[in-house]
């Protein structure tokens, strides 16, 4: 797991979980702004039967950007867990690209539930998809799947 604090007051997260290593995405958190970026370099393994990036990958990037923005907004280390209560995704354009970047931000909420939104762009800055949803602050867990 790699957490690095950059000079622009962001936190880069690489290899934090098995899932992150498996998929290969990167997270960048901006605690002072309540924002996060989730990025992924794309190749053919992410394609669906139509030859474009699978909707599950698109959704995962948007969900991570939203959840990470919630974590960043309440915890300067970005480690406060949040769980997705619901996520609405709007697919705008097919993703046929080399890189996708989801930009998430907190847009409202209270103490335990926050509302976040994200936009997903390709390397040409074309809008691919958007997402919105509520995210609930979750307790740190003693039991985890990686312990089973």
Tokens linked to 116? 């976040």
> Quick check: 2 pLDDT over 60?
no
Domain boundaries in the chain?
Answer: 2-139
Give the C-alpha separation, 56 to 80, whole Å: 24
What is the pLDDT confidence band of residue 144, given thresholds at 50, 70 and 90? low
The topology under which CATH files domain 2-139 is: Thiol Ester Dehydrase; Chain A (3.10.129)
pLDDT on residue 5 = 43
Query: How far apart, in Å, are the Cα atoms of 145 and each of 19, 26, 48, 103, 142?
Result: 12, 21, 28, 28, 10
Give the C-alpha separation, 7 to 3, whole Å: 13
pLDDT on residue 140 = 77
Cβ pair 77, 4 in contact under 8 A: no
For the chain, the average pLDDT equals 91
């Amino acid at each position: 797991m790699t957490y690095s604090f950059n000079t622009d007051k962001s936190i880069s997260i690489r290899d934090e979980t098995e899932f992150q290593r498996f998929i290969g995405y990167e997270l960048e958190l901006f605690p002072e702004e309540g924002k996060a970026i989730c990025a992924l370099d794309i190749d053919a393994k992410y394609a669906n039967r139509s030859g474009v990036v699978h909707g599950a990958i698109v959704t995962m990037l948007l969900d991570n950007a939203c959840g990470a923005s919630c974590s960043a907004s309440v915890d300067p280390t970005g480690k406060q867990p949040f769980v997705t209560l619901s996520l609405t995704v709007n697919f705008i354009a097919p993703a046929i690209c080399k890189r996708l970047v989801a930009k998430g931000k907190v847009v409202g909420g209270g103490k335990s539930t926050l509302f976040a939104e994200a936009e997903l762009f390709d390397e040409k800055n074309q809008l691919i998809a958007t997402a919105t949803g509520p995210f609930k602050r979750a307790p740190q867990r003693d039991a985890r799947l990686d312990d089973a």
